[in-house]
């Protein structure tokens, strides 16, 4: 699992157009002001918020009330407060609604290379956009080996040992109208307590590698509708070579169901045996449809077992 990070310069570049941000101070060393995910683990407040001198946010927003509060402080207390804000080493200070920046605050930010921005947006707009960007960027993430697909509108990760046919299965699914998200190394980010968002590294975007054919550009071969930028992970299909005598009788009714821990979530997983003559694309589609039914509370195996029990009860002597 990789450690996510973001610099003040990257945050500014990402939000500049949407929030109409402008630099007031600290631009020269913006890429040296870094926030990492590990820095947020033990923090009590949110990543971004209105000016707080007790539990400082990493991005401090100064609205009209905050600037008015500073103006009402006496000279010594005002200097101590500004110095305390700078000593917190925030990722950035942001002034809302194009308000005039106090000169002593600007000078303190310039001397300490603290990023200081101003925006015409209201404070709550700045808070919502910056908080969302930081939370998503610094969320826990992991790279898994497999092919990530969109099948019947849900995200399905196809895993298995090298040579099990993951890429060939993905290509067959693409020809059947499903979409590729990422091949070989999809990245998953936990953006909510129960949501894993899967994306493709820029280097591998639109690419699928097959033994004997090399690297294929799926977008160029099948069109824009054959690829998708991201998808939530809802299910894992694991391809495995069957071992004689390894399955129990009940698994023939329910399927080889299980779960795989990905970050903080248990993702439903079904194991599909790889054998000569089996149509893995059809089996994967069927497994996906079964998962959709189970998520709606419909379980054919349970219904069959109930029907069987009912039959035995009414036919017993």
Is residue 259, in this structure, part of any structural domain at all? Answer: yes
132 and 145 fall within a common domain: no
What is the arithmetic mean of pLDDT over 312-317? 70
Taking all residues of the chain, what is their mean pLDDT, rounded to a whole number? 89
157 and 275 fall within a common domain: yes
Instruction: Determine which one of 58, 121, 166, 238 is catalytic.
Output: 166
Task: Summarize pLDDT for 163-197 with one digit per residue, the tens.
Answer: 888 999 999 999 999 999 999 999 999 988 899 99
32 and 133 fall within a common domain: yes
28 pLDDT higher than 70? yes
Instruction: Determine which one of 43, 145, 176, 307 is catalytic.
Output: 145
Residue 61 structure tokens: 């927003």
Task: Summarize pLDDT for 269-302 with one digit per residue, the tens.
Answer: 999 888 877 899 999 999 999 999 988 888 777 7
pLDDT at 287: 93
Q: Domain containing 130: what range?
A: 5-137
Rounded to an integer, what is the distance from CA 290 to the centroid of its chain? 25
Residue after which a domain boundary falls, among 96, 113, 137: 137
Active site residue 252: yes
Banded model confidence at residue 140, pLDDT cuts 50, 70, 90: confident
pLDDT at 257: 84
Residue after which a domain boundary falls, among 92, 122, 137: 137
- Domain with residue 108: its CATH number is 3.40.1390.20
- Domain with residue 221: its CATH number is 3.40.50.300
120 and 208 fall within a common domain: no
What is the arithmetic mean of pLDDT over 257-263? 91
Instruction: Determine which one of 43, 84, 176, 252 is catalytic.
Output: 252
Both ends of the chain: CA-CA distance in Å?
Answer: 60
Residue after which a domain boundary falls, among 137, 152, 179: 137
Query: How far apart (Å, rounded) are the C-alpha atoms in residues 208 and 189?
Result: 22
Active site residue 145: yes
24 and 62 fall within a common domain: yes
Number of separate domains in the chain: 2
80 pLDDT higher than 90? yes
Q: 217: which residues sit within 8 A by CB, 6+ positions away? A: 206, 207
Task: Summarize pLDDT for 32-60 with one digit per residue, the tens.
Answer: 999 887 655 455 457 888 888 878 889 99
Is residue 216, in this structure, part of any structural domain at all? Answer: yes
Is residue 164, in this structure, part of any structural domain at all? Answer: yes
Is residue 313, in this structure, part of any structural domain at all? Answer: no
pTM of the model: 0.77
At residue 301, the 3 state secondary structure works out as helix
102 and 152 fall within a common domain: no
145 and 105 fall within a common domain: no
57 and 124 fall within a common domain: yes
Active site residue 166: yes
The string of DSSP letters for 164-182 reads SSHHHHHHHHHHTT-EEEE
Q: 233: which residues sit within 8 A by CB, 6+ positions away? A: 148, 155, 157, 188, 196, 197, 198, 262, 267
183 and 221 fall within a common domain: yes
pLDDT at 44: 47
281 and 180 fall within a common domain: yes
124 and 225 fall within a common domain: no
Is residue 312, in this structure, part of any structural domain at all? Answer: no
Is residue 315, in this structure, part of any structural domain at all? Answer: no
Is residue 314, in this structure, part of any structural domain at all? Answer: no
What are the CA-CA distances from residue 240 to residues 157, 166, 234 (Å)? 14, 10, 20
User: Is the pLDDT higher at 84 or at 254?
Assistant: 84
Banded model confidence at residue 317, pLDDT cuts 50, 70, 90: low
pLDDT at 176: 95
156 and 247 fall within a common domain: yes
Is residue 316, in this structure, part of any structural domain at all? Answer: no
Task: Summarize pLDDT for 188-216 with one digit per residue, the tens.
Answer: 999 888 999 999 999 999 999 998 899 99
Instruction: Determine which one of 184, 197, 231, 234 is catalytic.
Output: 184
Active site residue 184: yes
């Amino acid at each position: 699992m990789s450690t996510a990070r973001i610099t003040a310069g990257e945050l500014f570049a990402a939000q500049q157009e949407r929030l109409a941000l402008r630099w007031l101070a600290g631009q020269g060393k913006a890429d040296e002001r870094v926030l990492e995910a590990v820095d947020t683990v033990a923090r009590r407040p949110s990543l971004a918020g209105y000016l707080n001198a007790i539990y400082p946010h990493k991005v401090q927003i100064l609205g009209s009330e905050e600037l008015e509060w500073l103006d009402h402080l006496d000279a010594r207390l005002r200097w101590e407060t500004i110095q305390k804000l700078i000593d917190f080493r925030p990722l950035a200070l942001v002034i809302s609604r194009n308000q005039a920046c106090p000169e002593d605050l600007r000078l303190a930010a310039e001397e300490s290379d603290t990023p200081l921005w101003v925006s015409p947006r209201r404070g709550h707009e700045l808070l919502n956009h910056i908080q969302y960007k930081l939370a998503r960027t610094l969320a826990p993430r992991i790279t898994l080996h497999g092919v990530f697909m969109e099948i019947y509108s849900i995200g399905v990760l196809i895993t298995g040992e090298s040579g099990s046919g993951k890429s060939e299965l993905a290509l067959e699914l693409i020809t059947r109208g499903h979409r590729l998200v990422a091949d070989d190394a999809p990245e998953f980010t936990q953006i909510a307590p129960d949501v894993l968002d899967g994306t493709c590294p820029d280097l591998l975007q639109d690419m699928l590698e097959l033994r004997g054919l090399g690297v294929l550009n799926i977008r160029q071969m099948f069109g824009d509708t054959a690829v998708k930028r991201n998808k939530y992970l809802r299910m894992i299909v694991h391809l495995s070579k069957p071992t004689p005598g390894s399955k129990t009788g009940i698994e023939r009714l329910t399927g080889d169901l299980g779960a795989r821990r990905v970050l903080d979530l248990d993702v439903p997983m079904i194991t599909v045996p790889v054998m000569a003559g089996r149509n893995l694309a059809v089996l994967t589609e069927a497994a996906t449809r079964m998962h959709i039914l189970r998520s709606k509370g419909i379980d054919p195996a349970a219904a069959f077992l109930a029907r069987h029990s009912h039959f035995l009860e009414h036919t017993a002597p």
